[in-house]
Structure 1
Amino acid sequence: MSRSKPTKGKANPSLYWSLTQWISAAIVVSAGLEFEISRRIVEQINHVMLKEEGTEALEDYSKTLQKAWREKPDQTLTSLLDSTFSTSHVTPVLINGANVSSPTKTRTELSDAEITEIRKTLLNDEDQFIVGRDTGLGLAAAAQQLTLEANGQNKQVQLVVVLRWPLLKSLRELQWFEFQSRAITLIITLLASGLLLYALLEPLRRLNQKTRELTSEQLPDARVDADGAPREIHELITSYNDSLDRLNTEYERQQLFASTVSHEFKTPLTVIRGYIESILIRSTNLTEREASKLETAKQEVDRLNQLVSDLLDLSRYDHNTLKLRNEPFSPHAELSTTANHLRDMHPDRVSAHISEDIQALMASGDAGRYAQIIRNLTENALKYSPADTKVEIRGFRRENTIVAEVADQGPGIAPEHQTRIFERFYRIDEHRTLTQKSSSGLGLAIVKSLADSMGATVGVHSTVGHGSTFWLAIGIISPANNAP
């Protein structure tokens, strides 16, 4: 079982960020609407309260001014206002034609120009009441015509009261404080929502991580704990775990089948090969054609025998029963011997360049399996490169490792295949047309299994159209002359 291939194309948005954005937008819109409604309600309440306050102030000042005027009718309007003005929240103003009179104490706070502006605005207002004055001390203003009577003489003036209402200021300050509080609450809510979403989606992240790392060898350990997950996510994880159990059962059956078949095939194939060799050696009356056919049959039996051996090795590797020696050996000696053997078999195609710098170096592992890896890599290179090209075996030191390379001049391997060619039964369709020899797709999987079992690493460097270089790196333990 191999890992799933990532899908190319435009990346899908993160569920976490999508939910966070939608929830944040909903909270912001809701808070904005709530604040706007609250602001309008407060403004209406303020308007009604101010209007009542203004009406009451007009009535009170009308009575007070008329009484003071009757007591002293020869005084000026300014004196009249000074005699009745207190430091309360209402400032009275009397307008007689073009003359504007206001209490002396408020001259520095409420200029004639501001009073004129207030008067002009009041003249354009039907109910002679305005709210929201920001000039001077005025927050609101109301006006009415006033008749001052004394000694049978009447004096027509316009009374304007400018409300200096500290309570309204406090209300507006509270309104601003409420806005700040709502903004802070909104930020805290957004952060809390983000953290809550992050916690709720944690099981999905674990599921995604397990899925990314999923391989056939890790099926039993790939289960995800669904405790504490929301119901919908819990159901998803439960389905995933059930699927893993089914896959693991099927995979174990497949392994058992491969192991059983391999064991059952091993003995019959050995017997068949022995009979073929016996016939070829002892029979002197075989025709050339008959001998050739028997030789072909022997080669096919050898191929099947190798396939069975590979299946057995992989089965043992899966069950951690693959027995490899772990003893010091000389990679230089194994590389040299294997390279010489392969050169004898393919004198026109195989060459070797093994550095003498590694001759005295030792590694720990199974020498026979190390040689098998080199043979597999070389035979794979010979199979998938043109018949008139060379395959080179190299050996050299790189830091604390001994590196063996097998380089060919074949078609190269595309990047999307390089991460998968060590998987079992994985074959590149474009390469099948380059050789008439059949392939089981197990050669590189065996190489990877053997390398992992010895603590070595294996990989490939390749460019399409410029060949491939497979490499094997194994750690250095000591010089050869110190080996036991």
Structure 2
Amino acid sequence: MDRQSSVIKKTPQRRGLSLKWKWALGSVAGVFLIFIIFTWFVMQAFATQMMDTEKQQVSSSLNAVTNRLEHINESQMLPAEIDKLLRPDSTNFDQVVNDPVLQQIARKDYTVRVYNENGAQIYPEKGAKIAFHETKKRVIKTERVQGVKMLVGREELRDDNHQIIGHVTVENHLTGYHKTFNRVYAIIAILIVLGLFLIALWGYWLSGFFLRPIDNIKKTVDTINRDPQAQVRVVNEERTPDELTDLSNLLNTMLDRMQRFILQQHQFVEDVSHELRTPVAIVKGHMELLNRWGKDDPKVLDESITASLKEISRMEVLVSEMLDLTRADQVELTFRDGDTDAQELINGIYTNFKMIHPDFTFLIDDDLKGPTIVNMNRDHLEQILIILSDNAVKYSQERKEIHFAASRSGNVVELAVQDFGEGINPEDASHVFDRFYRVDKARSRKQGGNGLGLSIAQKLVEGYGGHIQLESAIGQGSIFRITLPIKQKDQN
């Protein structure tokens, strides 16, 4: 492998706003936008309603003025006459207060203008003269008069004979309207500022409450970063299940797996160092013997070379088995799915071993009704059955008989390999799946065993979610049973 490709680049560290502040500011921005849109629609409806009210008041003013002036003739269209009609001189206070015309025209934000038939302004006599706009019917609309936006109502003025003698204009400067809206806008602005402040505080507190598991995750990761073998995990007992709980559980599972792989790596190195020490020492001893004087003795030379080659071959087998064991440890990562017909495979193993060992009697009890698909790589299941079958042959020296069995129970399939050899006592049976464990070390070494086969089989089976167990009795033999889940698509 290229040296550069094996270098792990350090992940760049970037810091920004914390998630709490992002949550708080995002909540403020979202609520502010929603509030502005909602306020805009409410204010539009409120403005329309208020403008309708102002138009009704202008219309009432037009009615009051035209009704008061409808009995005059063209010759009475004089400022004094009009003022006398609109502002009657009365000593009766109640009459003055309850006069509808005075109620309308006495308002500071109202101006009443009267024009003659020719469009000349005759009332009020003093003050600014506003240009005349002729109209055939009553019109009430907003206009700009001398740069000021106001509500203007216009209507023809007729005498008793319904002859046009002039025009009346009522100007509503909308002072009260604008004051009301300025007050409402000020209240809304204060509410917005206060509301955003309170929402920001609430969002910050709420984000801190909901994101509390993130702090626990960070503390756990920091601890693991300092000590990869630290037995700390994210605790979620007090929380109801949610996405962060799922994330915490996923992290805990990942840490369990990571630490298991680290332990497996350390154990691999220790096991290899331990197991290779003896053959290396033997080879070294023979080489030193040959270096001193043995190379001149053909008999010693032949014995040393033969022993060294034997130990080298054993080391080669040992390294190969150790690599198989390492791959078996990681099978759940590298092989997630598989489609293997358990019935076809166990029958194939049965047929092959009958051919390889003609001096043995092989029997098979197949209760599977047709193809039975399990979620396992075919090579792995075949390797497991070969390991179990080889062990059965090795330890069946007197009664050379091997039984295979296959059956189904619910959603699992059970495969079994039985021998009638020496059997294993309970103390040894509890350790047969340990690495490098050998019941009879001298005999196992003579037969070429390293004590790794059953460890490889167990790792492979458990890596695919299965289970392997041993039933054994001294003098009666052993049965290895494998239980594997059946894929749901299988309809047997």
What TM-score bracket applies, with the shorter chain setting the length?
A: 0.3 to 0.5
Larger radius of gyration: 2
| TM-score (norm. length: structure 1) | 0.44
